[in-house]
Amino acid sequence: MANFKHKDIIALQDLTKQEIELLLSTAESMREINNRDIKKVPTLRGKTIVNLFYESSTRTRTSFELAAKRLSADTVNISPSTSSATKGETLADTALNLLAMKPDIIVMRHSVSGSHYFLSKKLPCSIVNAGDGVHEHPSQGLLDMLTMKDRFGRLDGLKVAIVGDISHSRVARSNIQGLTKLGSQVFLAGPPTMMPPGVERLGNVTVCDSLREAIQDADVVMMLRIQQERQGKTLMPNAREYARYFGLNPENLKLAKPDAMVMHPGPINRGVEMASSVVDGDQSWILKQVENGVAVRMSMLYHVCEGELE
Amino acid sequence: MNLLIQNGRVIDPSQGLDEELDLLVENGLVREMGRGLTAPAGVEIVDAAGCCVVPGLVDMHVHLREPGLEYKEDIESGSRAAVAGGFTSIACMPNTKPVIDNKALARYVIARGREAGLCNVFPVGCLTAGSKGERLAEMGELKEAGCVAVSDDGRPVVNAELMRRALEYARGMQIPVISHAEDLSLVGEGVMNEGFTSTELGLKGIPRVAEDIAIARDVMLAEYTNSPIHIAHVSTSGAVRIIRNAKLRGVRVTCETAPHYFTLTDDAVRGYNTNAKMNPPLREADDVAAIRAGLSDGTIDVIATDHAPHHLDEKDVEFNVAANGIIGLETSLPLSLALVEQGVLTMSQLVERMSCCPSLILGLERGTLAKGAVADITLIDPTLPWVVEADKLASKSTNTPWMGQEMKGAAVATIVAGRVVYRR
Ligand SMILES: [Zn+2]
């Protein structure tokens, strides 16, 4: 397999088109392992992977853990309490303690954007980002891209609409970085309160005035999660109005291409971001996204260890 | 000690002077200025050939961290950094632990400054008691104890009514008010400038209007109450515009900016560089251009440093939790001299922004080399190259975005009341 030169995977922004393509094609071959009777290969045997999750996320953590186990790595899960994590010293101290365990890879989720770069400078092991603040969530971005590639066989030339709270979405940032590098056209929609300044300069994206405009003739409609406890304060009047103007339902979905795929990084607020009939409808690829998560994460873990393997 | 400073280019805007002259200092005062002065017996001769001889630089916005936070800086180490940077006078903000809101603490700061015996240390007292923004501080007594201004720097006075009364009361006491202007509701949890870079880095942004709105309010209150106000650390194009317009209307408003705001943009934050984290945050290219224009046309009266020392442990953390601020005393002069090289300021305007204007605003009898004035003098070599190195800085802290970088220009001698307190 071709070379992957990075110690860490922190952001798709840091990767070239070729490196992203490599991660995706490796994921495709990893998927074959997941369909075997014995879902395990010795590739990372003897490697220690620490899952360090400052924010709870059963789904992402389990997916990374499964990926590690299928590659025969030993895994440890650490979930420091979020209250102690508000003190800055904690991450630096935790890093030193972790060093004593001699991990090969630390998979981290942290609420502070850029904390992975901070850790990466302190530690010689590989850092894999499982979500940092509102910066990036590269494994989610990759699994979304893999799912689109499954459906269309390519990413080049696709029209992808991303709808919702772009400001607070690391998923959106990773998808924007990855998709535009691989030749997709990205259209964003959401209330202006949720649209970060200068976002159109992130790759080549178009900010639309309405959901209708963004999803018109789209190949992919990606809906983002609305966190009502956060956005409820000043970013929108309430969930009901949000659903009316920015929610995906069978009627407005007709504006997209007839065979458009519908995606959501989960967990879904049914009836807010999407009508239940769309979530469960035949254009929905949401469960396939989850399935692809393990393969993509196997690919990421494999490639950050690769230098030592060959 | 008496001095004869020979062959220097004397630049003193207070007398409209910019020419090669000798300068005789006797008993701590400027005695005489002229060509080819001869030295009376026992006078030390200082050769200033190739140097600018200017009224001692005045930094009206520094944080010395004493009392209470001496692990970051203390009055002595801050004074050493000041004279190394060419400053003969500094005004230190009251947000220490405890805050300087009574005359005993103000006197303590002055006494510690005298003990250090390097530059003049002028305390700024609190504007409101405890800097809590609830009721007025004892401004009369603070002034009597030696405070040269009042400010709640570090936080804004949120209540507009209280700010109005503070301006009126301070006018009566004839003590200037320095406003730290930001609208906290717009700042929210922001940690850097709101713009493309914050979007890309996924960091919460602080919009420029958070500063503009607060400055507009304070300027309007100053206008309404006919009271003077000085706006600290201006960083946005909108702020420059608001202050320029207010000055045209005759509002008694003055303001300062800091070298980082005319030198860096928020690009410096990339890589989550905590030494580029400050409040107000580094802005964008058009703000930098506006700050330079404001300095050039006199809208911005003063270059101050907002010298804000922090321990490494407070900066070597994730960006969100890192302390705000950078040190500035030792890099201010070369960064400001760059403005002269780039044609933004003349050398004489630089001396106005860094000595005359801050003296005038604080009512210090400084910022001039007129006959009989206190001999606070800085000798500047505008071309001297040097590198910012941690172990060579006099400050206790090393939080600067310019670490390891080459600077051009430095103070080669700093003279306070006729005494050479620093020589490079
Ligand atoms: Zn301030």
**Predicted pLDDT of residue A85:** 53
pLDDT at A238 over 60: yes
Full strand arrangement of the beta sheet holding A159-163:
A205-207, A185-189, A159-163, A220-223, A261-263
Q: For residue B412, which phi and psi values (nearest 5 degrees)?
A: -100, -20
Check: pTM over 0.90? Answer yes or no. Answer: yes
Instruction: With CA atoms as reference, report the closest residue to A169 among A246, A206, A224, A110.
Output: A224
Q: Which domains does chain B have, with CATH numbers?
A: 2-52+374-423 (2.30.40.10), 56-368 (3.20.20.140)
Higher pLDDT, A184 or A36: A184
Q: Measured between alpha carbons, how far is B160 from B327 in angstroms, rounded to an integer?
A: 31
Distances (CA, A) of A93 to A43, A100, A123, A229, B313: 31, 11, 12, 31, 11
- When CB atoms are compared, the residue of B271, B313, B316 closest to A117 is B271
pLDDT at A80 over 90: no
Condensed to tens digits (0 to 9), the pLDDT of residues B54-110 reads: 999 999 999 999 999 999 999 999 999 999 999 999 999 999 999 999 999 999 999
Q: Measured between alpha carbons, how far is B237 from B283 in angstroms, rounded to an integer?
A: 9
- When CB atoms are compared, the residue of A89, A134, A201 closest to B202 is A134
Q: Do A113 and B313 touch (CB under 8 A)?
A: no
Architecture of domain A138-289: 3-Layer(aba) Sandwich (3.40)
Q: Is A212 annotated as a binding residue?
A: no
User: Same CATH topology for A12-135+292-305 and A138-289?
Assistant: yes
**Predicted pLDDT of residue B380:** 98
Q: Measured between alpha carbons, how far is B289 from B211 in angstroms, rounded to an integer?
A: 17
Q: Nearest C-alpha of chain A: how many angstroms from B152?
A: 26
pLDDT at A41 over 70: yes
Q: How far apart are the first and last CA of chain A?
A: 10
**B174-194 b/e (C-beta count within 10 Å ≥ 16 → b):** ebbbbbbbbbeebbeebbbbb
Q: Nearest C-alpha of chain A: how many angstroms from B73?
A: 21
**Quick check: is B287 catalytic?**
no
Residue of chain B whose Cα is closest to the Cα of A132: B202
Confidence band, pLDDT 50/70/90 cuts, at residue A86: low
Structure tokens at B72: 């970051």
Q: Measured between alpha carbons, how far is A308 from B299 in angstroms, rounded to an integer?
A: 60
Architecture of domain A12-135+292-305: 3-Layer(aba) Sandwich (3.40)
Mean pLDDT taken over chain B? 97
Q: Which residue has the tokens 């992808």?
A: A160
**Predicted pLDDT of residue B40:** 85
Q: Do A89 and B317 touch (CB under 8 A)?
A: yes
Q: Measured between alpha carbons, how far is B313 from B401 in angstroms, rounded to an integer?
A: 16
Calculate what percentage of chain B has a pLDDT beyond 90: 98
Condensed to tens digits (0 to 9), the pLDDT of residues B316-338 reads: 999 999 999 999 999 999 999 99
Q: Is B18 annotated as a binding residue?
A: no
pLDDT at B391 over 50: yes
Condensed to tens digits (0 to 9), the pLDDT of residues B238-271 reads: 999 999 999 999 999 999 999 999 999 999 999 9
pLDDT at A46 over 90: yes
**Predicted pLDDT of residue A310:** 38
Condensed to tens digits (0 to 9), the pLDDT of residues B160-214 reads: 999 999 999 999 999 999 999 999 999 999 999 999 999 999 999 999 999 999 9
pLDDT at A3 over 80: no
Q: Measured between alpha carbons, how far is B164 from B224 in angstroms, rounded to an integer?
A: 9
pLDDT at B290 over 90: yes
Q: Nearest C-alpha of chain B: how many angstroms from A286?
A: 25
Condensed to tens digits (0 to 9), the pLDDT of residues A239-254 reads: 999 999 999 999 999 9
pLDDT at A309 over 80: no
Calculate what percentage of chain B has a pLDDT beyond 70: 100
**Predicted pLDDT of residue A79:** 86
Q: Peptide bond before A267: cis, by omega within 30 degrees of 0?
A: yes
Distance (angstroms) between ligand 1 centre and the Cα of B153 equals 4
- When CB atoms are compared, the residue of B202, B205, B313 closest to A133 is B202
Distance (angstroms) between ligand 1 centre and the Cα of B95 equals 10
Q: Do B198 and A135 touch (CB under 8 A)?
A: no
Q: Which residues of A touch B202 (CB under 8 A)?
A: 113-114, 132-136, 170, 173
Q: Is B252 annotated as a binding residue?
A: no
**Predicted pLDDT of residue A87:** 55
**Predicted pLDDT of residue A89:** 57
Q: Measured between alpha carbons, how far is B74 from B93 in angstroms, rounded to an integer?
A: 13
Q: Measured between alpha carbons, how far is A116 from B201 in angstroms, rounded to an integer?
A: 12
Instruction: With CA atoms as reference, report the closest residue to A79 among A54, A59, A112.
Output: A54
Question: Could you give the ipTM of this predicted complex?
Answer: 0.87
Confidence band, pLDDT 50/70/90 cuts, at residue A234: confident
Per-residue pLDDT, averaged over A254-275, amounts to 95
Instruction: With CA atoms as reference, report the closest residue to B353 among B365, B340, B342, B370.
Output: B340
Distances (CA, A) of A23 to A9, A26, A194, A262, A298: 11, 5, 31, 23, 9
Task: Check CB contact of B319 with chain A, cutoff 8 Å.
Answer: yes
**Predicted pLDDT of residue B145:** 97
**Predicted pLDDT of residue A5:** 86
Q: Do A202 and B272 touch (CB under 8 A)?
A: no
pLDDT at A2 over 70: no
- For chain A, what is the radius of gyration of the CA atoms? 19
Q: Where along chain A do its domains lie?
A: 12-135+292-305, 138-289
Which of 267-286 (B) contact A at CB < 8 A?
Answer: 271-272
CB contact set of A100 (below 8 Å; sequence gap of 6+): none
Confidence band, pLDDT 50/70/90 cuts, at residue A97: confident
pLDDT at A88 over 80: no
Distance (angstroms) between ligand 1 centre and the Cα of B74 equals 19
| Single-letter residue type at B124 | V
Condensed to tens digits (0 to 9), the pLDDT of residues B137-151 reads: 999 999 999 999 999
Confidence band, pLDDT 50/70/90 cuts, at residue B285: very high
| CB–CB contacts below 8 A, A to B | 74
Per-residue pLDDT, averaged over A220-226, amounts to 96
Confidence band, pLDDT 50/70/90 cuts, at residue A308: very low
Q: Is B339 annotated as a binding residue?
A: no
Q: Is B230 annotated as a binding residue?
A: no
- When CB atoms are compared, the residue of B199, B271, B321 closest to A198 is B199
